[in-house]
Amino acid sequence: MTLATVVKKIAEASRRYLFLAAVAGTILILDQVTKAVIQQTMQLHESIPIINRLFSLTYIRNPGAAFGLFAEHGNGLRIAFFATISVVAIVFLWTLFVKTPKEAWLGRLSIAMVMGGAMGNLADRLRFGDVTDFLDFYIGSYHWPAFNVADSSISIGVALMIWYFIREDRRANPPDENPSAHA
């Protein structure tokens, strides 16, 4: 292997990891900045209507998982549990990212989005013991559980990941063009 080949491979790998760092890092920063703004400018449980009967900014502290699951468990055990799950998820996503082909931009984007969101909520749990939520969508009195930028990134990233893997599966296993030929 020539020096030029080695340098080219290092440059390609660096671009891939720079992409991961840029996407995940941007999401992490955006998530933490928006949460800090909410924490500094609103009182806990305060709600500011943005679109009447549809969307408000509502400052909530969520000690549980999605939709408040596990909120009633002890603080130390809950933090350790969610921190462990988050670290395992981040390691899994890193491994998945490394194995995703460099030309699979949608797969890499989806993984980076989920990783950035996971890091945002992990940062909250480690710093505060819970997660700040503030995006509150509802119709009349029917509320979707409040969420944040990290949750949004995870949800969109998972949806893109599912779409990516379905597309890849279809490419790898195209439907039989002539099913009657096998009858």
Q: So which residues are the catalytic ones? A: 133, 151
CA distance 67 to 173: 37
Taking residue 156's Cβ as centre, other Cβ atoms within 10 Å add up to: 16
Q: Report the run of H or E that residue 112 belongs to, with start and end.
A: helix 105-128
DSSP for 160-171 reads HHHHHHHHHHHH
Taking residue 83's Cβ as centre, other Cβ atoms within 10 Å add up to: 13
- CA R_g for the chain: 21
CA distance 86 to 170: 31
In the structure encoding, which two tokens stand for residue 102, read together?
């460099």
CA distance 166 to 56: 35
Q: Assign 151 to helix, strand or coil.
A: helix
